[in-house]
Structure 1
Amino acid sequence: MPELPEVEALAAYLRERAVGQQIKRIDVSAISVLKTFNPPVTAANGKLLTGTSRWGKFLDLELGDDLHLVIHLARAGWLHYRDNLPPAPLKPGKSPIALRVHLSDGSGFDLTEAGTQKKLAAYLVRDPKEVPGVARLGPDALSLSTQDLAELLKDKNQQLKGVLRDQQIMAGVGNAYSDEILHAAKLSPFMRADKLNAEQLERLHTAMGDILTDAVTRSVGQKAAELKGEKRAGMRVHGRAGQKCPVCGDVVREVSFADSSLQYCATCQTGGKPLADRRLSKLLR
């Protein structure tokens, strides 16, 4: 799933290549992708793409001074930019392309989604806050001071991993970067968020800033097609179960859930004790 650094990089990529172009038209080939109907998608035709920005993990394309195309790539979605797009309209159900944006110079981009869940979403709105997911977002993860973070966590009687991923608490961090942040902070993913002491809180804040800022720095300037590989290459524990921890050399371990998994280093994060299933683990400190 694209998270804060990748969405920031996509916004920068489109800012460099597409801002200043007019929207020629938008083709929708998967009805499930477009979540709004008023204004109609044809209202974007002829609009100038004036800017790009980010709301947590949402990408915001500013069309003229009164419309926004807001995109959430979800778990399996991606954006593919092309210098030359085929002019023919898309045929529904004939490819993984769910939506295509044609620009006035012949370039444009496709939104695609792998798998069968169909959670890729696009919204054509007059204000980004009309998008329910945007309206519910907590403060951006990179905007938080240590004190801000302390205030957010103080009443959260939940496991730290889940709190970091909750977009209504803080926006932008997902499954991958939460693993990386917790590893860098030397904190158990099962630790209760409201039990961090001052030193642990400082470590968490520092790790969050360092991990996300480094990932943004590495990602911005990359081509859209290269961002997934850049993200994987920068991971130290996420997606690396069975490999050696680059800090201590212990084996990176994994806890699996119904629809996701987490990776961690027991030596770095849990005092050498392997984590059990989240429902059974006693490692809350």
Structure 2
Amino acid sequence: MPLTLIDRSLMASHTRHGLTGMARFLAEFWYFGIKEARACLFVGLFFAAVFLLPRSGVLGVPRYDVLLIVAVGIQLAMVATKLETLDELKAVCLFHIVGFVLEVFKTSAGIKSWAYTDYGYTKLFGVPLFSGFMYASVGSYIIQAWRLFDLRIRHHPPYWMAALAALAIYINFFTHHYIGDYRWYVAACALGLYARTTVVFRPLDRDRQMPLLLAFVLIGLFIWLAENISTLFGIWKYPNQMGAWSLVHIGKWSSWSLLVIMSFTMIANLKHIKEKIHVPE
């Protein structure tokens, strides 16, 4: 069955009058899980490739290069099957560029926050080109979830304020190596900006809502877990993992949560998404 038909079935909004109590909770929880899994299509397929590809590569092609081919193939297929629009693809490409620039800086000789230790033909400045897709996958997830859950945002801060906060988050990823880490000051600003913001979503046939800040933190948690899996499989390594694998520092959770805020701000500027965002006068 084509995914577009599955999506249409998942988003069918006819009211289930017979569902009450625990039966309703279980049904909504089930649909919530299915929609979350579907929204993670790009992430799921990409990480399946990470798990399944041998470190030695395939048919003489290094693993990093195969991962790039897989990522590009998934992205093109999503556009071809209309799971993403061309405008959404442009946003995803912007994520790729923003993420790749950050990767080049973090892996540079003067910083060495982490390293891509395997060989690859498609490495530029020591960073494999597929790495930008790991950031783009966050944007892809948000775009897919927006449609599947019929997301709406209430009390979103003015766009210029949100843009300044996102820019401060991105700049701090670079400057904390030279002038100190101000992430908690930036996080405090984001907390103030989004304190009243709620996200309205529809797991089944009724609207539910939660604080948008909580959504940022939860998504950041799952990215941190995925990062642990990636380092376990040797996709990249932090300095403390060169001898033997160890858990990624819990502090990275906060970094990923801030990155999600930045990603959300970029997605929120898409024309068809702006229509479902309420900014108080």
**Which structure: greater strand fraction?**
1
| TM-score class, shorter | under 0.3
TM-score by length of 2: 0.28
TM-score by length of 1: 0.27
**Which structure: greater helix fraction?**
2
Question: Which structure carries more relative contact order (alpha carbon 8 Å, separation 6+)?
Answer: 2
